[in-house]
A and B are shown apart, each in its own frame.
Chain A
Amino acid sequence: AQSVAQPEDQVNVAEGNPLTVKCTYSVSGNPYLFWYVQYPNRGLQFLLKYITGDNLVKGSYGFEAEFNKSQTSFHLKKPSALVSDSALYFCAVISLGDYKLSFGAGTTVTVRA
């Protein structure tokens, strides 16, 4: 079975500081990994994904993620956080053969001014 884990329920950072949201995965075969963000009372917005190739993936709104095969991690990063980045972030993996996204529990990010 394929799964992802987000070890932190909450991440708090000051505006302008670097932001990191952690994700580890467990898959058999090649991992297809995704990050989504959810703002209050909204659906999920796609940020970025890793399929193959460069370990550093760049996405929307200045976010990037680093794929690390040896550590089975796919951490989301932003060099300088904004108050508007405050939201719920989900890491997900696609299950080969059934098109199903398996999500982590989510990490609430709060960026204080």
Chain B
Amino acid sequence: KAGVTQTPRYLIKTRGQQVTLSCSPISGHRSVSWYQQTPGQGLQFLFEYFSETQRNKGNFPGRFSGRQFSNSRSEMNVSTLELGDSALYLCASSSGLAGVYQETQYFGPGTRLLVL
């Protein structure tokens, strides 16, 4: 089974621009979660999608948004980029069955975003 894939792997943007990151989950997985990893803040939860609906959201400003498509692929968008948005953005997938919280989330390699 193919793992979680993320594109692009690297991005360089300038302040004020917007960016869209893509994530394809493991086949059959319907839940996709996004995390931001920075040296200062560590790993922080952004949001989670299941069946095209956002089920959970972390404490990030509205500039961070996402969506999920009917094939479970997900995109994350960051508008009006700031220097502090430079980070590794990780996507994780699981089957996401309702009420089954103990499922393993499998992570992609991440997209490294640098904002200049």
A and B form one complex? yes
Given known contacts A99-B31, A99-B33, A106 and B55 CB-to-CB distance under 8 angstroms? no
**Is B107 in contact with A102, judged by CB distance below 8 angstroms?**
no
Q: Does B45 lie at the interface of the complex (its beta carbon under 8 Å from any beta carbon of A)?
A: yes
Chain B, Cβ-Cβ closest to A42: B109
How many inter-chain residue pairs (CB < 8 Å) link A and B? Answer: 61
Q: A18 to nearest B CB, angstroms? A: 26
Give the B interface residue count (CB, 8 A): 27
Instruction: Say yes or no: A101 contacts B45, CB within 8 Å.
Output: yes
Residue of A nearest to B42 (CB): A105
B111 nearest in chain A by CB position: A43
**Nearest chain A CB to B101's CB is how many angstroms away?**
5
**Contact-residue bracket for chain A:** 20 to 34
Contacting residues, chain B, for A49 (C-beta < 8 A):
102, 104
Interface string of A19-49 (1 = CB under 8 A from B): 0000000000000101010000111111001
Whole-angstrom CA separation of A4 from B115 in the bound complex: 30
Do A44 and B101 form a contact, CB below 8 Å, given A99-B33, A100-B58?
Answer: no
Inter-chain contacts of B104 with A (CB < 8 A): 34, 46, 49
Q: Would you mind naming 15 contact pairs between A and B with Cβ atoms under 8 Å apart?
A: A32-B102, A41-B112, A44-B90, A44-B92, A44-B107, A45-B107, A46-B106, A51-B102, A96-B101, A99-B55, A99-B94, A99-B96, A101-B92, A102-B45, A106-B43
